[in-house]
Every structure is written in structure tokens, then in C-alpha cells.
Amino acid sequence: MEFKNLFVVICLLMGGCASGDKAEGNIPDDTVTVVQPVQTEQVQPSLPFVGKRQFETRPGVSGTGTPGRWVEIRADGTVEFTFMQINQSDETETRGVYNAGPFQKIVKCVFKEWDNETRFYEITATRIYETDSNGVRLELEDCCLDATSVCPCQSDYFGE
């Protein structure tokens, strides 16, 4: 784009010099075009919501206590995940808060209390989906209530 604009300005300058005007090299004001540089900014995707939402994308996972998971999107676009689980046998609590960085189409989160398990999420206004690193939505046995088939790893928000 800049090269094209420079070419046009050079052509105008050359045309003005060769036009036979009495004041050589002067170009009438109406033939000069001022070109403003184009500002390019990284555009952040619009936020699906601002606030905290609880979700459960893997209801088929059972054990000593079903974990609670929350996603929070702040007004500045920062995404944070919270994980909390109470062990039913000894009532010990495992809790973690994980900053996942700025909101984007696919958000990556590393859950340190889950042995650094990495999960990818697609967050919408009404639902959250687990995806692979390329944004393909997952379907797994763990994502079914009955765990006898394969189901989409998705959740409507509930609770808070």
C-alpha cells in the first residue's frame, strides 16, 4: 500500500514539473494528496461475558470428590480458571486459581494441581466447550453422565 501511494506522489511531482507552469517545480495545491499512515491494531475478540461462571464439561469423571470449575472473564479480557475439589473421604480441599491470559477464541489453561494437565476451552456466552489445541471440540466417554458412550465435552453455565 505504501509503495503504491509513493508511486502516485512521484508521478504527481513529475507531472507538475513537466507541466510548463511558469514556476517550475511547483504543484498547484489541488493536485497534492496527503496520505495518512494506516494504524493497525491487534483486535481482541469481543468478550462473551464479563464475570464468573461455573461449569462441568466432564460429568462422567468420578472419584473421591467431583471438582468444581469456574471461568472468570474480567472487563480487561483477562481469563482466569478456578478449580476446587473436596475429598469426600478425608475432607481435604484442593483449590487452584489459574491465569489463562487474555481472552481469545481458544483459551489454554494448565491446571497445576492436576499434575499440570493442560486443557483448551472455547468460551461462548451460554456454554463452554473443551477442545484440542487446534480448537476441535472434544467428544469423550468422561463427558457423558453414564460413561457408556462418547459425548461432547461441553457445559452450560450454572451456579453463580
pLDDT digits (tens, 9 = 90+) for 8-49: 434 444 444 344 444 445 555 555 444 555 554 555 679 999
Q: Compute the mean pLDDT over every residue in the chain, rounded to the nearest whole number.
A: 77
In a domain, 38, yes or no: no
> Looking at the structure, do residues 75 and 16 belong to the same domain, yes or no?
no
> Looking at the structure, do residues 16 and 87 belong to the same domain, yes or no?
no
Longest dimension (CA), the chain: 98
Across the range 44-57, mean pLDDT stands at: 91
> Looking at the structure, do residues 70 and 11 belong to the same domain, yes or no?
no
Residues of the chain with pLDDT > 90: what percent?
A: 42
Q: What is the pTM of this model?
A: 0.68
> Looking at the structure, do residues 140 and 101 belong to the same domain, yes or no?
yes
> Looking at the structure, do residues 26 and 96 belong to the same domain, yes or no?
no
| pLDDT reported for residue 62 | 59
How many Cβ atoms sit within 10 Å of the Cβ of residue 107?
20
**Does the pLDDT of residue 63 top 90, yes or no?**
no
CB half-sphere exposure, 113, CA atoms < 13 A: 14
> Looking at the structure, do residues 55 and 109 belong to the same domain, yes or no?
yes
> Looking at the structure, do residues 106 and 68 belong to the same domain, yes or no?
yes
To the nearest 10°, the Cα dihedral for 56, 134, 137, 125?
Answer: 60
| pLDDT reported for residue 22 | 47
> Looking at the structure, do residues 8 and 57 belong to the same domain, yes or no?
no
Q: Are 133 and 126 in contact (CB under 8 A)?
A: no
Domain that residue 77 falls in = 51-156
**Does the pLDDT of residue 53 top 60, yes or no?**
yes
| pLDDT reported for residue 25 | 52
In a domain, 97, yes or no: yes
Residue 83 sits at φ, ψ, to 5 deg, of -125, 135
- Tally of domains in the chain: 2
> Looking at the structure, do residues 82 and 137 belong to the same domain, yes or no?
yes
**Does the pLDDT of residue 103 top 60, yes or no?**
yes
In a domain, 39, yes or no: no
> Looking at the structure, do residues 79 and 124 belong to the same domain, yes or no?
yes
